[in-house]
Structure 1
Amino acid sequence: MLCKIALGNVRRAGKDYLVYLLTLTLAVTVFYAFNTISVQVDIAGVTAQNAGMGETLGGVISWLTVFLGFVMGFLMVYANNFIMKRRKKEFGLYQVLGMSRWQVARIMAMETLFVSLAALVLGVVLGLGLSWLMVFFTASIFKTQIADFRFFFSLSAFMLTVGCLVAIFLVTLVFNLRVVARAKIIDLMSASRKNETVHVRNPWLSAVVFVVGAAAIGIAYARLLHDGLPYDGSPDGMTNFLITTVTVVVGTILFFFGLSGFLLKALQAARGLYWRGLNMVTLRQLAAKVNTVSFSMAMIAMILFLAITSVTTGMSLAGVMNENVEHGTPADYSRIITYIGEQSAAELNASSEQNGSGTRYAVTREPIDVLKASALDTVDPDSADARPFDLASIIGRSVQVDVYDSTPLGESVPLVTLNALCEAVDMPLPAGTETADMTSFGLGIMKESDYNRYLRFRGFDEIDLGEDGYLITSDMGATVNDVYNAAMAKGVTIDIAGRELYPAADAVDYEASVFQNAMFGMNSGSVVVPDELVDEAGLPLYYGYFLGDYADGVSTEEGDAYVRAYRRYGDLTDSDGAVVALWGQEATRTETYESVDSMNGLISYLAIYIGFVLVVACAAILTIQQLSGVADASGNFRILSELGTERRDIAHSVLAQQTVFFVFPLVLGIAHSCVALSVIIKLVQLFGGFAIGGAVGLTAVIFVVAYGGYFFVTYLMSKGIVGDAIRARHSL
């Protein structure tokens, strides 16, 4: 009997359960589809190129799903609150007719179970289709070809989805039982006659609060644009950023806290508009609702800001890496050594004395041949097959470029710095980077002969600096390279070893500035000067870059396998046994492409996953708030109808109110994102191009589908509630 009643209730109260069912179905759909990522990368052929990628992505997505499951659980409690509020009188009637609270609770539990099962079935069916489509999306991200597409069902993704759904069901059930256990029959029976107590604030005070909130937001914007992001994590930078964050959050809360008074005073001033149609009624109801949900609207605006910023930034970063990887891989293999400077040698020797290791460190003036020094490494050192790392056996064409520190030995001030060039051309770098290493440290210095060898290796024309020429090389983004271009175009001179040097070109040769395989720009600036000036200035060695292509007869797969074998690095020492350099990063072209593909996949999936769920959460909260408000105001709509107001005008009034509640948080969230993205773009452009066009399009699609869809459902359901209220007779 109880089961039959529960089924009948679900059918009868289908409109009330629609938001709950829709949100839960979407959650199940995305939970299942995104947790099939390990299967998708296998079908897309990613694992053949990047072993372990499926497990990595799957693990990250699984943990993220658990977190988002908790978020959706609390959201479902909020959605269920609307259903309970609408049906309290019905549950009270059950008890009046003789049912115990336990029996009513069982009915509620079965209703929730039926809706959850329906959401599971619908969500899994939609999730299956979405997961199959996502295989092609996965292949496009990782640039692979689908050799053997097949339809699949992931048991692990299904079990994880069911687990999240069970957790959501249990949280909702506990909330429902708590409501029934604590409520008195008289409260349940009279629930439809009780509305939320609304404390209408003084309109003038609210308007002042609104202005204060808007001013605080403006101040936060100005601070962020002036201070930028804390690029180097300095304490002062982090403190300023924290103050800015608190200011924008408080300003957003005050903005919505005083919104009702501002709207009321603004429209009252326009009397022709205020007294037209139902505008006065609409505004009064809007003011009362804003008073009660101001904090939640502020939080929704902030969450939408995070969703917009994360999706746009994440997808844009993925695009940047995708565009830069071909430019950033000039050779089959690259390896770097970092030479030990004076200060580093002193610090390392002091540490060595304290721990008793006996290792000595020193500064060298002689470059180390990376190709020969690689033989100091030992392949498979702990096995019987231990052998030297014979890099020369697989390398054909190669080149080594040594970069010198622009701070002469015995001195502390660099000869050339990025800050000095910025001042010379009056082009400041993005706010927040003033104390970063790349701006305060000196630029690297490179010999003309080394650079010409590099140009020959790359197939470019050689340069001739003469006696007083210089060039700047850099593979960074426009933010940095624009400064270098301006400096050379304006003829800014630099002094090396007492000789004044003039630019030998008008701009940086971006293509001829890459000295290692990397997904981002790594050459923050190196000045090419005549060879003799390096020795005359007493400049110490800084970096050694080795680039090499595999020899004829050595395939890419064979070369990659050889350099990827496990080995122990050898010490780079001078003739006295002192360590003078340390091994740095090494990478093959294949590894760099794989790293970019991996990062693209991870960032893209996380950005879309988090963004979609956050948008759905915000839209669902707004939908529930509006439906609850319309249900509370049903008596007012009935009175308006009895006074002769057309149903169309009442529907337009409801639409106007809901448009404000959906649009205002979105507009403020977009405004926050635009300011934040303007700072992020400038910062990311330090390392490469940053285009947000495609990411903005994807973000717009997510909002149209999720946010706009919930707005449409909210209005349709609200029209139904208004229609029911108008048709109903007065309660006795």
Structure 2
Amino acid sequence: MLCKIALGNVRRVGKDYLVYLLTLTLAVTVFYAFNTISLQVDIAGVAEQNSGMGDLLGGIINGLTLFLAFVMGFLMVYANNFIMKRRKKEFGLYQVLGMSRGQVARIMALETFFVSLVSLVLGLVLGVGLSQLMVFFTASLFKTQIANFHFFFSFGAFMITVGCLLAIFLVTLVFNLRVVARAKIIDLMSASRQNENIKVRNPWLSAAVFVVGVALIGVSYARLLQDGLPYDGQPEAMTAFLVTTIMVVVGTILFFLGLSGFLLKALQAARGLYWRGLNMVTMRQLAAKVNTVSFSMAMIAMILFLAITAVTAGMSLASVMNESVERGTPFDYTRVLVYFGPQAVAEENAYAEANGDATRYAVATEPIDLVEASKADTVGEGTADAHPFDVSQIAGGHVQVDVYDSTPLGADAPLVTLNQLCDATDMEMPSGVDSTGTAELGLGVVKESVYNAYLRYRGMDEIDLGANGYTIISDMGATLNDIYNAALAQGVEIDFNGHALRPVSDRVNEKASAFQNAMFGMNTGTIVVPDSYVEEANLPLYYGYLMVDYADGISTEEGDAFINELRTYHPITNDAGEIVAGWGSEATRTQSYESVDSMNGLISYLAIYIGFVLVLACAAILTIQQLSGVADASPNYRILAELGTPTRQIMHSTLVQQAIFFVFPLFIGVAHSCVALSVIVKLVQLFGGFTIGGAVGLTAFIFLVAYGGYFYVTYLMSKGIVRDAIRARHSL
């Protein structure tokens, strides 16, 4: 009997559950489709390039699904309260007719179960279909070919999806049961006649709250623009960022809390506008929702901010990596040697002595031949086929660049720093750089002859520094290179160990600045000076870069196979057996491109997944709020119609109210995102060019489809509710 009543209720109040059902269905669809990523990666052939990508991406998506399910559950519970509010009188009537609270609770549980079950079935059908299509999307992201496409179903994704939906169902059910368990019958029966308790009554107080909210948001913007993001993890920076975050959240809540009263007061002052049409009714209905809606709108604005920022920044970052890898991967293979500096040598020797270790470290006095040093590595050590790692066997040509530290041996300060160049050019230090110590670190130093050998190897024109010239090279982004370009263009004179040097070029040659294969710029700034000045300054070695191109008879596959053979690494020692250097990063051109493709796929998936689900949740809660509000206001619309108000004006009033509820959170979310993205852009520009133009189109498309679609559905359904209310007036 109870089951029959529950089924009848779901059919009878289907309009109330329609948006709820639609949102859960879309959530199940997205949850399932994105959690099949590990299978998609296998079918798309990504695993052949990167065997661990499926597990990595699958693990991240699974964890992210739990977080998004929590967000979705919170929003759906809040939205469900609006549905239950409309049905309090119905539940009270059940108890008046003799049902116990337990029976009413079971009816509610069954209704929620039926809606969730239908959502699960529909969502899985759509999810299975979407996951098949996403295989082709996955292949395009990772730039692979699909060799053996076949239908698949992921039991693991199914279980994760069911688990998330079950959690949402249980939390929603608990909140629904509290409605009946705590309310008295008289309260349930009179719920439709109860007015909202408005705490902020004074319009001037609302205006003051609004101004305080705007002020807090403005101060938080200024703090973020000045301090930047705490990417270095320093406690002071993290504390400042936390304070900024709290300020913007509190400011957003106060903004919406005082918004309705502020607008009401402003429109009341403009009498010609306030008394026009149904503006008075519209504004008073908006003001009446200040308590229940202000917090939810603030949270929706913050979640929209997160969604906009995630999609725009993520897709833009993927784009910039594609551009950076083209410029930053000019060789078939690169290897980096890291020399031990005086401070590192002292620390390592002290540690070894304290632990009774006979190993000793020393500062290298001469550059090490990296091709010869590579032979110290042993391929297949411990086997009968063990042999040295000899790069010359596959190299058609190679070049080595040795970079020196600009702090002379025995000195405390570098000869040339970023701080000095900023002061000389009257330019500001990039946001966040000063907190990392980068500002005080000296630029690397390269001999003119070594750099010219590098230019000859790459087929570029050599440079002539003359007796007192210098130039700066860097493959970083505009954030740093603009400072270097300004120093070169303005002819900034530098004191290099007592020698006054002037630039011989007017800007950084970014194409001739990459010394290793990488996704982003790695040369943060190197000054090229005459050989004699480097030798005279007694500078310690800093890095050694080996750049190799395969011989004509060696294919890329053969060269990569040679490089990727399993080998044992050994430290680099001098003639006295002291360790002077250790191997750093190494990468083939193929590895760099595969890493970029994998990272692009990972970022794109996460950005789209986060953005779509969060926008979906926000749009759903706004839709249910507005539909419930229109239903609650049906008696008012009926009275307006009886008084002779044209239906067109009533519809226009409804549209204005819904537009404000949809647009204002989006407006604040976009404002927050613009400030955050401006900081993110400056940060990423440290490593390469970064623009958000292309990603803006994708973000706008997601919002047009999801957010705009829900707004359109909301208005259409609201028109139906209003027409039913007006039609009921004619039938009386």
TM-score, normalising length: structure 2: 0.96
Tell me if 1:307 matches 2:307.
yes
Matching of residues 479-628 of structure 1 within 5 Å: 479-628=479-628
Q: Note the C-alpha offset of 1:61.
A: 0.7
Question: Does the residue aligned with 2:581 lie in a helix, a strand or coil?
Answer: strand
Q: Which moved more, 1:10-19 or 1:61-70?
A: 61-70
Name the aligned partner's letter for residue 465 of structure 2: L
1:243 and 1:71 map into 2 onto residues whose CA distance is 23
Tell me if 1:359 matches 2:359.
yes
Question: Does the residue aligned with 1:585 lie in a helix, a strand or coil?
Answer: strand
Q: Residue in 2 aligned with 1:440? A: 440
Matching of residues 126-137 of structure 1 within 5 Å: 126-137=126-137
Q: Residue in 2 aligned with 1:164? A: 164
Q: Note the C-alpha offset of 1:71.
A: 2.3
2:141 and 2:594 map into 1 onto residues whose CA distance is 11
2:65 and 2:89 map into 1 onto residues whose CA distance is 37
1:468 and 1:517 map into 2 onto residues whose CA distance is 32
Name the aligned partner's letter for residue 396 of structure 1: G
2:447 and 2:430 map into 1 onto residues whose CA distance is 30
Q: Residue in 2 aligned with 1:342? A: 342
Q: Note the C-alpha offset of 1:440.
A: 1.6
In structure 1, the gaps of 5 or more residues are none
Q: Which moved more, 1:319-328 or 1:37-46?
A: 37-46
Q: Note the C-alpha offset of 1:269.
A: 1.6
Question: Does the residue aligned with 2:435 lie in a helix, a strand or coil?
Answer: coil
Name the aligned partner's letter for residue 171 of structure 1: V
The number of aligned residues is: 732
Question: Does the residue aligned with 1:258 lie in a helix, a strand or coil?
Answer: helix
Q: Residue in 2 aligned with 1:56? A: 56
Once the two structures are superposed, residues 337-365 of structure 1 have per-residue CA deviations (whole angstroms, 9 ceiling, x without a partner) of 11111111111111222222222111112
Change (3 A) 1:317 1:15: same
2:504 and 2:419 map into 1 onto residues whose CA distance is 21
Tell me if 1:646 matches 2:633.
no
Question: Does the residue aligned with 2:188 lie in a helix, a strand or coil?
Answer: helix
Q: Note the C-alpha offset of 1:40.
A: 2.0
2:570 and 2:591 map into 1 onto residues whose CA distance is 23
Once the two structures are superposed, residues 60-115 of structure 1 have per-residue CA deviations (whole angstroms, 9 ceiling, x without a partner) of 11121122222222333223322222222223333333444444333333322222
Change (3 A) 1:711 1:670: same
Question: Does the residue aligned with 1:376 lie in a helix, a strand or coil?
Answer: coil
Conserved in 1, the CA contact under 8 Å of 2:213 and 2:251? yes
Matching of residues 141-540 of structure 1 within 5 Å: 141-381=141-381, 383=383, 385-540=385-540
Conserved in 2, the CA contact under 8 Å of 1:231 and 1:433? no
Identity of aligned residues (%): 76
Change (3 A) 1:627 1:195: farther
Name the aligned partner's letter for residue 314 of structure 2: G
Conserved in 1, the CA contact under 8 Å of 2:198 and 2:290? no
Conserved in 2, the CA contact under 8 Å of 1:28 and 1:161? yes
Conserved in 1, the CA contact under 8 Å of 2:204 and 2:265? yes
Q: Note the C-alpha offset of 1:597.
A: 1.2
Question: Does the residue aligned with 1:545 lie in a helix, a strand or coil?
Answer: strand
Question: Does the residue aligned with 1:233 lie in a helix, a strand or coil?
Answer: coil
Q: Which moved more, 1:237-246 or 1:258-267?
A: 237-246
Q: Note the C-alpha offset of 1:600.
A: 0.8
1:459 and 1:453 map into 2 onto residues whose CA distance is 10
Q: Residue in 1 aligned with 2:122? A: 122
Conserved in 2, the CA contact under 8 Å of 1:10 and 1:111? yes
Q: Which moved more, 1:212-221 or 1:307-316?
A: 212-221
Q: Note the C-alpha offset of 1:731.
A: 14
Q: Note the C-alpha offset of 1:730.
A: 12
Q: Which moved more, 1:181-190 or 1:421-430?
A: 181-190
1:222 and 1:82 map into 2 onto residues whose CA distance is 37
Name the aligned partner's letter for residue 60 of structure 1: I
Once the two structures are superposed, residues 218-277 of structure 1 have per-residue CA deviations (whole angstroms, 9 ceiling, x without a partner) of 222222222323353333333332332222222222211211221012111211001111
Name the aligned partner's letter for residue 253 of structure 1: I
2:57 and 2:234 map into 1 onto residues whose CA distance is 32
Q: Residue in 1 aligned with 2:45? A: 45
Q: Which moved more, 1:228-237 or 1:606-615?
A: 228-237
Tell me if 1:714 matches 2:688.
no
Q: Note the C-alpha offset of 1:470.
A: 1.4
Q: Residue in 1 aligned with 2:67? A: 67
Q: Which moved more, 1:223-232 or 1:422-431?
A: 223-232
Change (3 A) 1:689 1:375: same
2:419 and 2:49 map into 1 onto residues whose CA distance is 43
Q: Note the C-alpha offset of 1:387.
A: 3.7
Q: Note the C-alpha offset of 1:200.
A: 4.2
Once the two structures are superposed, residues 299-344 of structure 1 have per-residue CA deviations (whole angstroms, 9 ceiling, x without a partner) of 2211111111111111111111111112111211111111111111
Once the two structures are superposed, residues 652-688 of structure 1 have per-residue CA deviations (whole angstroms, 9 ceiling, x without a partner) of 1121111111111111111111111112111211110
Conserved in 2, the CA contact under 8 Å of 1:444 and 1:525? yes
Question: Does the residue aligned with 1:440 lie in a helix, a strand or coil?
Answer: coil
1:288 and 1:180 map into 2 onto residues whose CA distance is 25
Name the aligned partner's letter for residue 363 of structure 2: V
Q: Which moved more, 1:466-475 or 1:537-546?
A: 466-475
In structure 2, the gaps of 5 or more residues are none
TM-score, normalising length: structure 1: 0.96
Question: Does the residue aligned with 1:645 lie in a helix, a strand or coil?
Answer: coil
Change (3 A) 1:239 1:159: closer
1:3 and 1:236 map into 2 onto residues whose CA distance is 59
Name the aligned partner's letter for residue 225 of structure 2: L
1:158 and 1:235 map into 2 onto residues whose CA distance is 42
Change (3 A) 1:643 1:621: same
Name the aligned partner's letter for residue 690 of structure 1: F
Question: Does the residue aligned with 1:650 lie in a helix, a strand or coil?
Answer: helix
Q: Note the C-alpha offset of 1:408.
A: 0.9
| RMSD (Å), alpha carbons | 2.2
Q: Residue in 1 aligned with 2:139? A: 139
Q: Residue in 2 aligned with 1:688? A: 688
Q: Residue in 2 aligned with 1:80? A: 80
1:263 and 1:495 map into 2 onto residues whose CA distance is 62
1:339 and 1:441 map into 2 onto residues whose CA distance is 16
Question: Does the residue aligned with 1:165 lie in a helix, a strand or coil?
Answer: helix
Conserved in 2, the CA contact under 8 Å of 1:325 and 1:596? yes
